């Protein structure tokens, strides 16, 4: 084998190693954002588990507010259903957007619940309600941090996937679609709405 044959072989080997690197990097970044979504899932499930306890505690005090309580439970169930669908494929933008919409509706329902609770000082003074409120508030902070980490991982994946020369190979490796960020219409409101202040 001549010098030109060795050079050609060397170029082919370097090219093959570079393509392997691109593939491995895409897989790594995809796994990172999927793991990030798993962290959101854990925190949202925790919040979804707290909401029925909050509603159950409030029922005794809010007998005339059954519509508000039902709206919270219905919104919680819809959000939990969307979370389950999104968890099966966190890279699918339609599921991520549906989850964001369901979370916004839940945030609005919790906001109405909080406003109604303000009229019931005995409920606000309840030890059980204060404890649930504190747990819910803590969980909301965890959801925000997990969502930020997920969105950062999605951005890293999308930037790498769309950068040259990765963009040439991404679809060949099965990375055909851009991953979607989990964004809420009004991030500040969604972070504040479920909090019950005493």
pLDDT digits (tens, 9 = 90+) for 21-36: 999 999 999 999 999 9
CA distance 94 to 196: 31
Tens-digit pLDDT profile for residues 37-87:
999 999 999 999 999 998 988 887 887 788 899 999 999 999 999 999 999
Give domain 31-164+177-192's CATH superfamily.
LemA-like domain (1.20.1440.20)
The pLDDT of residue 183 is above 90? no
CA distance 167 to 124: 55
CA distance 153 to 55: 35
Tens-digit pLDDT profile for residues 89-113:
998 899 999 999 999 999 999 999 9
CA distance 186 to 62: 28
Q: pTM for the whole thing?
A: 0.81
CA distance 154 to 30: 8
Sign of the C-alpha dihedral, residues 102, 51, 132, 146?
negative
CA distance 156 to 172: 19
Q: In sequence order, what are the residues at sequence separation of 6 or more whose Cβ sits closer than 8 angstroms to the Cβ of residue 190?
A: 103, 104, 107, 184
Helix axes 3-59, 93-117, angle to 10 degrees: 30
Domain ranges of the chain: 31-164+177-192
Tens-digit pLDDT profile for residues 113-159:
988 888 888 887 888 888 888 999 899 999 999 999 999 999 999 99
pLDDT for 146: 95
CA distance 189 to 153: 24
pLDDT for 149: 95
DSSP at 180 = P
194 confidence band (pLDDT: 50, 70, 90): very low
pLDDT for 142: 94
DSSP H or E segment with residue 186? none
Question: Does residue 44 sit in helix, strand or coil?
Answer: helix
pLDDT for 186: 52
Surface-to-core class of residue 14, CB atoms within 10 Å of its CB (0-12 exposed, 13-18 middle, 19+ buried): exposed
């Amino acid at each position: 084998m001549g010098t030109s044959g060795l050079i050609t072989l060397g170029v082919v080997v370097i090219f093959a190693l570079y393509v392997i690197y691109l593939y491995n990097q895409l897989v790594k970044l995809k796994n990172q954002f999927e793991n990030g979504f798993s962290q959101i899932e854990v925190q949202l499930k925790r919040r979804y588990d707290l909401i029925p306890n909050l509603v159950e505690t409030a029922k005794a005090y809010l007998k005339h507010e059954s519509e508000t309580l039902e709206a919270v439970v219905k919104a919680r169930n819809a959000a939990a259903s969307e979370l389950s669908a999104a968890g099966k494929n966190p890279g699918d933008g339609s599921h991520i957007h549906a989850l964001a919409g369901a979370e916004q509706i839940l945030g609005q329902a919790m906001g109405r619940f909080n406003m109604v609770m303000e009229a019931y000082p005995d409920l606000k003074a309840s030890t059980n309600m204060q404890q649930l409120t504190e747990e819910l508030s803590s969980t909301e902070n965890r959801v925000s941090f997990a969502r930020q980490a997920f969105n950062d991982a999605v951005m890293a994946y999308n930037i790498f996937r769309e950068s040259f020369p990765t963009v040439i190979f991404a679809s060949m490796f099965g990375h055909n679609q851009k991953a979607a960020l989990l964004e809420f219409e009004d991030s500040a409101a969604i972070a504040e709405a479920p909090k019950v202040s005493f």
